[in-house]
């Protein structure tokens, strides 16, 4: 079987780390027909559109994409090209596995959890009102007439939206993921003690869904306490499910537990399509220097392989990456312990080492 997959190199270090991931996918023996598409600042410079319609149509057609980091040009008219993509394709679930691999520098001995982030609602809907505009003044007047707490005139406003529908499908997704992966616990993060009609709704729905899955342990934690406990004892968590804004923050906190964004994979999943990408940014200072860490993109590729049904290939690719990390030889500078004075490996050398490990297995 030949799989059709959309390939989006992206901006900055994107083309380098995605090329490394692409080579590793092909080294597993899975047959792939890549549909290379553009997105981000490079696409905007060439076409005048940071998210070309051809790119969205390709992802809809193939149902899956492997993507590099992208930059949103200030003059493009989009708040975020990534956010627009997720909303247009309804990629409602962001999945961030956070596993500490032997050999990766960390203050922890073991971390193995998954952050599931709602991807389309909350503070990231793009519904905002700029200070001083007529629309903002009208909104301030409306709220002031219906609230005991008036809003100052010199205020900018962002709207937080959480729905019963969006909450139910992300929590259901988290429980399904937990059960499929043999996990033991789902933890819902929230601030329902303060935001009773938004986070309160999310928590109410999470408890309702949890009651329908009595075979899975469930708990909820206020988000600030959750973050403290996550840093103190990450081993007490298994699967975290969070609204969009908190999920964004917790994903990066969790990445810090396992060695940084360079080794943190991710996927954005919807009913019609899924896009897999590392969690780091474009790192323009490293672009074109063959020094970027490709591990996050390669682990995202392993996630992608499992998603398309090539579970054995995905498992073999992850095992090969883990063996290279444990060996401690072909590592980029960000993965070296402070007292390791061996020369850092290049992006290409890391990919070559993973491919060699795949072939030797």
What CATH number corresponds to the domain at position 267?
Answer: 3.40.718.10
What domain range is 26 assigned to? 1-97+261-361
On whether both 130 and 197 belong to a single domain, the answer is: no
Integer CA distances (angstroms), 169 to 83, 230, 279, 314, in order = 19, 25, 23, 26
Band of pLDDT at residue 202, cut at 50, 70 and 90: very high
Claim to verify: residue 114 and residue 252 sit in the same structural domain = yes
Cα 59 from Cα 41, distance rounded (Å): 19
Q: Is the model's pLDDT at 297 over the cut of 90?
A: yes
Closest CA to 190 of 203, 171, 206, 179: 203
Are residue 155 and residue 168 in the same domain, yes or no?
no
Could you tell me if residue 270 is inside a domain? yes
Task: Say what percent of the chain tops pLDDT 90.
Answer: 94
Section 2-31 average pLDDT: 98
Q: For 22-56, how does the pLDDT look when each residue is reduced to its tens digit (9 = 90+)?
A: 999 999 999 999 999 999 999 999 999 999 999 99
The pLDDT value given to residue 361: 87
The mean pLDDT of 100-107, rounded to a whole number, is 96
Angstrom distance (rounded) from CA 323 to CA 154? 56
Mean pLDDT lowest among 63-72, 144-153, 264-273, 338-347: 144-153
> Does the pLDDT of residue 146 top 90, yes or no?
no
pLDDT (tens digit, 9 = 90+) per residue, 161-183?
Answer: 999 999 999 999 999 999 999 99
Domain identity same for 92 and 170: no
* Residue 192 shares a structural domain with residue 292: no
Q: Would the pLDDT of 78 be above 90?
A: no
Position 77 pLDDT exceeds 90: no
Residue 91 lies in a domain: yes
218 within domain boundaries: yes
- Shared domain for 210 and 115, answered yes or no, is yes
Tell me: do 36 and 62 sit in the same domain.
yes
334 located within any domain: yes
Residue 144 has pLDDT above 90, yes or no: no
Percent with pLDDT over 70 in the chain: 100
Q: Are residues 213 and 328 in the same domain?
A: no
Q: Is residue 23 part of a domain?
A: yes
> What Å distances lie between residue 337 and 286, 309, 344, 351, CA to CA?
20, 36, 11, 20
The confidence band for 148, taking pLDDT boundaries of 50, 70 and 90, is confident
**Residues 70-97, mean pLDDT to the nearest whole number:** 94
pLDDT, average across residues 74-79: 88
Label residue 136 by pLDDT band (50, 70, 90). very high
Q: Residue 285 CB: number of other CB atoms within 10 A?
A: 9
The pLDDT of residue 84 is: 94
**Which of left, alpha, beta for 70 (phi over 0: left; psi -120 to 50: alpha)?**
beta
CB atoms within 10 A of CB 35: 17
Same domain, 149 and 213: no
- Same domain assignment for residues 266 and 332: yes
Query: Per the domain annotation, does 307 fall within a domain?
Result: yes
Q: Are residues 170 and 203 in the same domain?
A: yes
Last residue of a domain, one of 203, 235, 257: 257
Nearest to 333 by CA among 281, 282, 277, 295: 295
Last residue of a domain, one of 239, 257, 275: 257
pLDDT for 149 equals 85
Q: What is the mean pLDDT of residues 240-261?
A: 97
Number of domains in the chain: 3
pLDDT of 79 above 90: no
Any idea which residues carry the catalytic annotation? 124, 191, 224, 248
Q: Is residue 102 part of a domain?
A: no
Given a cut of 90, whether residue 210 has pLDDT beyond it is yes
Q: What is the mean pLDDT of the chain?
A: 96
302-336 pLDDT, tens digit per residue, is 999 999 999 999 999 999 999 999 999 999 999 99
- Residues 152 and 182 grouped into a single domain: no
Task: State which of 214, 239, 257 marks the end of a domain.
Answer: 257
CA–CA separation, 141 and 85 (whole Å): 34
- Average pLDDT of the residues in 83-101: 97
Is 228 part of a structural domain of the chain? yes
């Amino acid at each position: 079987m030949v799989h059709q997959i959309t390939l989006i190199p992206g901006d900055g270090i994107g083309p380098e780390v995605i090329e490394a991931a692409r080579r590793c996918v092909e080294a597993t023996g899975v047959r792939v027909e890549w549909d290379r598409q553009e997105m981000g600042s490079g696409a905007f410079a060439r076409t005048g559109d940071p998210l070309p319609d051809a790119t969205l149509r390709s992802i809809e057609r193939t149902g899956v994409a492997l993507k590099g980091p992208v930059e949103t040009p200030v003059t493009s008219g989009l708040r975020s090209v990534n956010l627009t993509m997720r909303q247009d394709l309804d990629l409602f679930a962001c999945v961030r596995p956070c596993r500490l691999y032997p050999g990766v520098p960390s203050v922890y001995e073991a971390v193995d959890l998954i952050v599931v982030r709602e991807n389309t609602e909350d503070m990231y809907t793009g519904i905002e009102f700029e200070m001083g505009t007529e629309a903002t003044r009208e909104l301030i007047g409306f709220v002031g007439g219906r609230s005991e707490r008036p809003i100052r005139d010199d205020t900018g406003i962002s709207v937080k939206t959480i729905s019963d529908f969006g909450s139910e499908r992300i929590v259901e997704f988290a429980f399904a993921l937990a059960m499929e992966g043999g996990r033991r616990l789902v933890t819902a993060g929230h601030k329902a003690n303060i935001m009773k009609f938004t986070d309160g709704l999310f928590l109410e729905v999470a408890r309702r869904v949890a009651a329908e899955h009595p075979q899975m342990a469930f708990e909820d934690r206020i988000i600030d306490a959750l973050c403290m406990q996550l840093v103190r004892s990450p081993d007490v968590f298994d699967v975290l499910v969070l609204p969009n804004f908190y999920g964004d923050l917790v994903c990066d906190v969790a990445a810090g537990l396992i060695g940084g964004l360079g080794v943190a994979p991710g996927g954005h999943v919807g009913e019609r399509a899924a896009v897999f990408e590392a969690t780091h940014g474009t790192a323009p200072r490293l672009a074109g220097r063959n020094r970027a860490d490709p591990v996050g993109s390669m682990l995202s590729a392993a996630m992608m392989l499992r998603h398309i049904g090539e579970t054995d290939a995905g498992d073999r690719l992850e095992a090969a990456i883990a063996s290279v990390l444990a060996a401690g030889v072909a590592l980029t500078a960000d993965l070296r312990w402070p007292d390791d004075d061996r020369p850092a490996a290049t992006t290409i050398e890391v990919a070559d080492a993973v491919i060699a490990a795949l072939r030797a297995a």
